[in-house]
Chains A and B, each alone.
Chain A
Amino acid sequence: MTIPFLSLMIFLPVVGMAIILLMHKEKHVTAIRWTANIVAGLVFVLSLLALTAFIPGNPAMQLQEGPTPWFAAAGVVVNYHLGADGLSLPLIILTTLLTFLCTIYSWRITHRVKEYMAFFMLLEVGMLGTFSALDFFLFYVFWEISLVPMYFLIGIWGGPRREYAAIKFFIYTLVGSLAMLLAILALYFHSSPHTFDMIELARQTPLASHFWVGVLAFWGFFLAFAIKVPLFPFHTWLPDAHVEAPTAGSVILAGVLLKMGTYGFVRVCLPILPGPSRMFAIVIALLALVSIVYGALVAMAQTDLKKLIAYSSVNHMGYVMLGIAAAAGITWPGNPHAFDAVSRTTALNGAVLQMVTHGIITGALFFLVGVIYDRAHTRDLASFGGLAKQMPVYAGIMMMASFASLGLPTLAGFVSEFLVFVGAFGTYQIITGLAVIGVVLTAGYFLWMIQRMFFGDLNRQWAGLPDMDPGELVAVVPLMVLTLAIGVFPHPVLQVINTVSWSVVQHLGQALGLG
């Protein structure tokens, strides 16, 4: 008998939430925290156990559950269908790990703990569901479920402008997902037989023969995913949301929720809408370039540490999008029939790996911002200085995370960015060449940040700041270990990703009658 790992992982937090809601909000605060910790821990363990049932070299969907008929009514058939492949599994593990670390870190939340933990559990349900759903109905349900708790996490436990940031986040992402809903319906009604099944839709590519519907559907999905990524110019909700969100909220937002957008591009746009994806890849590539350069420049201009990291996400997610665009795009300048599967696979490998590494590194960076903010109650870079002596452990970890983020070899960020650039160069020479400027700028703003925070004279105000405590270390150190591990030996992760990238690119080529 096979264990339904994915269902267990998705529904265990539901149980956790129910238990938490039944507890008393004041008398059982510690029990509530423990429940959240234990549930998130169990889900993490389950995700690791799922790995044992996973065959890395197999590009097909594994750990499949279903398709089981959910309901078939008034001519619409919906199935319960979950599965994971080399694209989703790393993201699932990233989700369970970050959620677990966040529940540990969130012991310091003392305000309305019961609601906080309940929303956190619900958030995990939405995220894991999104990455495992293989039926569009289910996908959409989970996609939307992840939206609501984050709205409350920002709005209740956030900073001074939390209400504005929360509603902005909510409206932006909801507009996107509603556009996606229309696109999903368009796919459904053009498939034959009508189906919401993502695998079957990828096989049928139902809109290949309906040019304009295909174009509209693509832009529907594009809007949903681009807002989530966020791709310039849809990124304006992100700095607000990140800056106002509580630490754990920012970690999840940057670490996981943004990946739902890029995941969507790889899971939905490339396989199901190969034609429009190829046609409009150049638009994505150009927007990615703007995101990279503009994100880096704006990050450089920040005086608020958290905003700097937030804009660095715009910058880094740009690399992911560049890799995805390069995997699909028409070779530039040039030959519409050229289809170099190897470099495209490399670009996609880089993009997917970057999703994972960005999740790990930026997750760590946001934890670290939380650490200093908890102590200093400010994130103003100008007010820091000389902290390296005062908080050596913190300084060391922060520097390591920053170096990982700016792409120093032997750390995880380097591998993924390198692959993106190598791969993307095969499709878009000029754009990729220009995008490399982003790397220089990234190095610039991180180094400048380190200098402003840790070197020079210590501001007397911070003479009494303690270094990191065990609770914080437990949350951050695992991420740093992973960063180093993937940086030095990326092979196991890449192997998992590569099989899927290769098959996505092959599928794309076949669907378009190329290569």
Chain B
Amino acid sequence: MPVYNITTFLPEIILALLGLGVLVLDLVLRGEQKRLLPAVTVVGLAAYGTAAGSLWNPAHVPAFEFWHSMLLDNYAVFFKVLFAVVGILVVLLATDFLRRVYAYGEFFVLLVFTLLGMSLLSGAVDLVTIYLAFELVSLSSYVLAGYLRRDPKSNEAALKYFLYGASASAVMIYGMSLLYGLGGSTNLLVLADRLAMNPVGPMHALALVMVLAGLGYKVAMAPFQAWAPDVYEGAPTAVTAFLSVGPKAAGFAILARFLLIVAPPLVPQWQVIVAVLATLTMFTGNLLAIRQQNVKRMLAYSSIAHAGYMLIGVVAAGSQLGFGMAAVLYYLVAYLLMNLGAFAVLMIVAHNTGTEELEGFRGLARGSLGLALIMLVFLVSLTGIPPTAGFVGKLYVFGAAISSGVWWWLGVVGIINSAISVYYYMNIARLMFFCEGGGETTRQPVEFSLVMWVCLVGTLVLCLVPAPILNAAAEATMLVMGR
């Protein structure tokens, strides 16, 4: 068996080369020429996405890499393509703010390296690889969050992110060391077999909780969510948009794989833990979102709540693998589109009004009806009302909860939370449509509009024609165990 195969590793190679290439180009290019950088990044990311997509394996034969530390299955491919889309959209969202800051190229380098970490994480099946990939994502994200060097809020964001993140990593690696002690291997597949042979003890639970804490931090799962609002508010908006979907999706990828591969002997235990955490996460996110005046903070809390909805699917997947995980993957795609779309509109509004507070949306419908209606679609989707992708996502996640039997009550919790979320999402709609005032939005960078339209079409099409993504998600999760 070959130790590694260059084609199966091609997406990551492209990303690594892209990162280094942009780094060099940034040194070589001068002044106006630097405008090439986002274009290069987009093309590179498109190549990455294409390379990843071409690895889709209809026969479901997973390939291993590097002494079984990496796994290439459809699950990993699904996420890699998703990351490529996120990356491209975020580059588009970022170009405008970068025109106004000094350092230009580093941003893309950091973004690409974060994506590389995410890409590795999607296929990692070894504790060491997981940890390394995880740290690559985290370290690059810390810097991105603090990208506005002269803005104290951005500094605060980076520092908070770093301190929380470092502690979370420490806890996680401690949990991993316990796992190694229990199973005598760092490989998840081997670990799973060995753990299954021995009776479950309290040490298993402790190890599980510690690893969950580390991963939970990345997906902003309560009670490890405290960093998110400050970081989201302080970071540049494009970075916030990225953090709310990119690393979060990667976190879910590994969280689910970890729980479903290593933890089958522990399923009843982790289902209880994750179900409780999901409940906590949904309530925390939604109840705190209501009080926010700053839209970025509000979206931060709402993204915590959405992580909670997705955790419902993860719990359900413990009982009924395929359906629950397919629901989670679809939800991630839907969430990516509606959330990035909402961020794009927020950025357009902030450009014209100079504020990211709720007030900026006041009377938007009077001046720019189209923009307000598009935002309305995203809000309706985030609430989970048809005909939008958010609705189908919720339908599947709650459906997974109900079909799994005992976990139906999570569906009820999710429903209660959706009802709570109406209040703050519709509050933006209220400001846009019910209030007077607000001029026409004149300045609308073309990249923002592009992202906005892509997300709008995606949000609607994913509801009207959800089958391709749902089927891909179902396919991708068929062999999530990797064997």
Q: Does B associate with A?
A: yes
Interface positions of A (Cβ within 8 A of B): 21, 25, 71-76, 112, 114-115, 137, 140-141, 144-145, 147-148, 151-152, 155-156, 162-163, 166-167, 170-171, 174-175, 178-179, 181-182, 185-186, 188-189
Interface positions of B (Cβ within 8 A of A): 322-323, 326-327, 330, 365-366, 369-370, 373, 376, 380, 383-387, 391, 394-396, 398-399, 402-403, 408, 411-412, 415, 418-419, 422-423, 426, 429-430, 433-434, 465-467, 469-471, 473-474
A74-B327, A114-B369 given; A145·B386 CB < 8 A: yes
* Distance between B359 CB and nearest chain A CB, rounded to angstroms: 16
The one of A74, A166, A170 in contact with B396, judged by C-beta atoms closer than 8 angstroms, is: A74
Assembly CA distance A163 to B385 (angstroms) = 20
Main SS of the interface on chain B?
Answer: helix
Q: Please tell me if the beta carbons of A148 and B385 are within 8 angstroms of each other in the complex.
A: yes
Q: Please tell me if the beta carbons of B433 and A73 are within 8 angstroms of each other in the complex.
A: no
Q: Please tell me if the beta carbons of B396 and A141 are within 8 angstroms of each other in the complex.
A: no
Q: Please tell me if the beta carbons of B467 and A162 are within 8 angstroms of each other in the complex.
A: no
Contacts of A163 in B (CB 8 A): 430, 434
Q: Please tell me if the beta carbons of A115 and B433 are within 8 angstroms of each other in the complex.
A: yes
Most chain A beta-carbon neighbours within 10 Å: one of B370, B391, B415: B415
Q: Please tell me if the beta carbons of A74 and B419 are within 8 angstroms of each other in the complex.
A: no
* Distance between B168 CB and nearest chain A CB, rounded to angstroms: 32
The one of A72, A74, A155 in contact with B433, judged by C-beta atoms closer than 8 angstroms, is: A155
Contacts of B423 in A (CB 8 A): 167, 171
Q: Please tell me if the beta carbons of A188 and B399 are within 8 angstroms of each other in the complex.
A: yes
A-B contact pairs, 21 of them (CB 8 A): A21-B369, A71-B466, A71-B470, A73-B469, A73-B470, A75-B323, A76-B470, A112-B366, A140-B386, A145-B387, A152-B433, A155-B434, A171-B423, A174-B385, A174-B418, A178-B415, A182-B402, A182-B411, A186-B402, A186-B408, A189-B402
* Distance between B459 CB and nearest chain A CB, rounded to angstroms: 14
Q: Which residue of A lies closest to B370 (CB)?
A: A21
A144-B386, A166-B434, A174-B422 given; A73·B412 CB < 8 A: no
Q: Please tell me if the beta carbons of A167 and B396 are within 8 angstroms of each other in the complex.
A: no
* Distance between A179 CB and nearest chain B CB, rounded to angstroms: 7
Q: Please tell me if the beta carbons of B419 and A178 are within 8 angstroms of each other in the complex.
A: yes
* Distance between A138 CB and nearest chain B CB, rounded to angstroms: 9
Q: Please tell me if the beta carbons of B369 and A185 are within 8 angstroms of each other in the complex.
A: no
Assembly CA distance A151 to B326 (angstroms) = 33
Contacts of A186 in B (CB 8 A): 402, 408
The 8 closest A-B pairs by CB, nearest first: A73-B470, A71-B467, A141-B386, A74-B474, A74-B326, A73-B467, A178-B415, A189-B403
Q: Please tell me if the beta carbons of B422 and A171 are within 8 angstroms of each other in the complex.
A: yes
Q: Please tell me if the beta carbons of A74 and B369 are within 8 angstroms of each other in the complex.
A: no
Contacts of A115 in B (CB 8 A): 365, 369, 433
Contacts of A140 in B (CB 8 A): 386
A115-B369, A115-B433, A188-B399 given; A74·B330 CB < 8 A: yes
Contacts of B366 in A (CB 8 A): 112
Assembly CA distance A2 to B178 (angstroms) = 69
Q: Which residue of A lies closest to B329 (CB)?
A: A74
Contacts of A167 in B (CB 8 A): 423, 426, 430
Main SS of the interface on chain A?
Answer: helix
Assembly CA distance A41 to B246 (angstroms) = 49
Assembly CA distance A71 to B429 (angstroms) = 31
* Distance between B327 CB and nearest chain A CB, rounded to angstroms: 7
The one of B383, B433, B467 in contact with A156, judged by C-beta atoms closer than 8 angstroms, is: B433
* Distance between A14 CB and nearest chain B CB, rounded to angstroms: 11
Q: Which residue of B lies closest to A187 (CB)?
A: B402
Given contacts A141-B387, A171-B422, A185-B398, could you give 9 more A-B pairs where the C-beta distance is less than 8 Å? A74-B322, A76-B399, A148-B385, A167-B430, A171-B419, A174-B419, A185-B395, A185-B411, A186-B402
Q: Please tell me if the beta carbons of B426 and A151 are within 8 angstroms of each other in the complex.
A: yes
Contacts of B322 in A (CB 8 A): 74-75
The one of A152, A171, A179, A181 in contact with B395, judged by C-beta atoms closer than 8 angstroms, is: A181
Assembly CA distance A162 to B430 (angstroms) = 11
Q: Please tell me if the beta carbons of A175 and B387 are within 8 angstroms of each other in the complex.
A: no
Most chain A beta-carbon neighbours within 10 Å: one of B323, B330, B429: B429
Contacts of B411 in A (CB 8 A): 182, 185
The one of B365, B376, B402, B466 in contact with A185, judged by C-beta atoms closer than 8 angstroms, is: B402
Q: Which residue of B lies closest to A119 (CB)?
A: B433
* Distance between B377 CB and nearest chain A CB, rounded to angstroms: 10
Q: Please tell me if the beta carbons of A170 and B422 are within 8 angstroms of each other in the complex.
A: yes
Q: Please tell me if the beta carbons of B387 and A185 are within 8 angstroms of each other in the complex.
A: no
Q: Which residue of A lies closest to B384 (CB)?
A: A178
Q: Which residue of A lies closest to B419 (CB)?
A: A175
Q: Which residue of B lies closest to A75 (CB)?
A: B323
Contacts of B373 in A (CB 8 A): 21
* Distance between A162 CB and nearest chain B CB, rounded to angstroms: 7
* Distance between A310 CB and nearest chain B CB, rounded to angstroms: 21
* Distance between B335 CB and nearest chain A CB, rounded to angstroms: 17
Q: Please tell me if the beta carbons of B415 and A181 are within 8 angstroms of each other in the complex.
A: yes
Q: Please tell me if the beta carbons of A74 and B471 are within 8 angstroms of each other in the complex.
A: yes
Assembly CA distance A76 to B403 (angstroms) = 11
Assembly CA distance A76 to B473 (angstroms) = 13
Contacts of B415 in A (CB 8 A): 178-179, 181-182
Q: Please tell me if the beta carbons of A155 and B386 are within 8 angstroms of each other in the complex.
A: no
Q: Which residue of A lies closest to B403 (CB)?
A: A189
The one of B380, B396, B418 in contact with A76, judged by C-beta atoms closer than 8 angstroms, is: B396
Assembly CA distance A207 to B72 (angstroms) = 43
Contacts of B418 in A (CB 8 A): 174, 178
Q: Please tell me if the beta carbons of A25 and B369 are within 8 angstroms of each other in the complex.
A: yes
* Distance between B305 CB and nearest chain A CB, rounded to angstroms: 15
Assembly CA distance A182 to B415 (angstroms) = 8
Contacts of A71 in B (CB 8 A): 465-467, 470
Q: Please tell me if the beta carbons of A148 and B380 are within 8 angstroms of each other in the complex.
A: yes
Assembly CA distance A217 to B361 (angstroms) = 39
Contacts of A147 in B (CB 8 A): 385
Q: Please tell me if the beta carbons of A74 and B323 are within 8 angstroms of each other in the complex.
A: yes
Contacts of B402 in A (CB 8 A): 182, 185-186, 189
Most chain B beta-carbon neighbours within 10 Å: one of A21, A151, A178: A178
Q: Please tell me if the beta carbons of A189 and B399 are within 8 angstroms of each other in the complex.
A: yes
Q: Which residue of A lies closest to B465 (CB)?
A: A71
Contacts of B394 in A (CB 8 A): 181
Most chain A beta-carbon neighbours within 10 Å: one of B370, B386, B412: B386
Q: Which residue of B lies closest to A180 (CB)?
A: B415
Assembly CA distance A115 to B365 (angstroms) = 9
Q: Which residue of A lies closest to B320 (CB)?
A: A75
Assembly CA distance A151 to B466 (angstroms) = 27
A148-B380, A181-B398, A189-B399 given; A73·B474 CB < 8 A: yes
* Distance between A331 CB and nearest chain B CB, rounded to angstroms: 34
Assembly CA distance A188 to B366 (angstroms) = 43
* Distance between B300 CB and nearest chain A CB, rounded to angstroms: 23
Contacts of A182 in B (CB 8 A): 398, 402, 408, 411-412, 415
* Distance between B466 CB and nearest chain A CB, rounded to angstroms: 6
Assembly CA distance A174 to B426 (angstroms) = 12
Assembly CA distance A115 to B429 (angstroms) = 14
Most chain A beta-carbon neighbours within 10 Å: one of B376, B385, B471: B385
Assembly CA distance A166 to B466 (angstroms) = 31
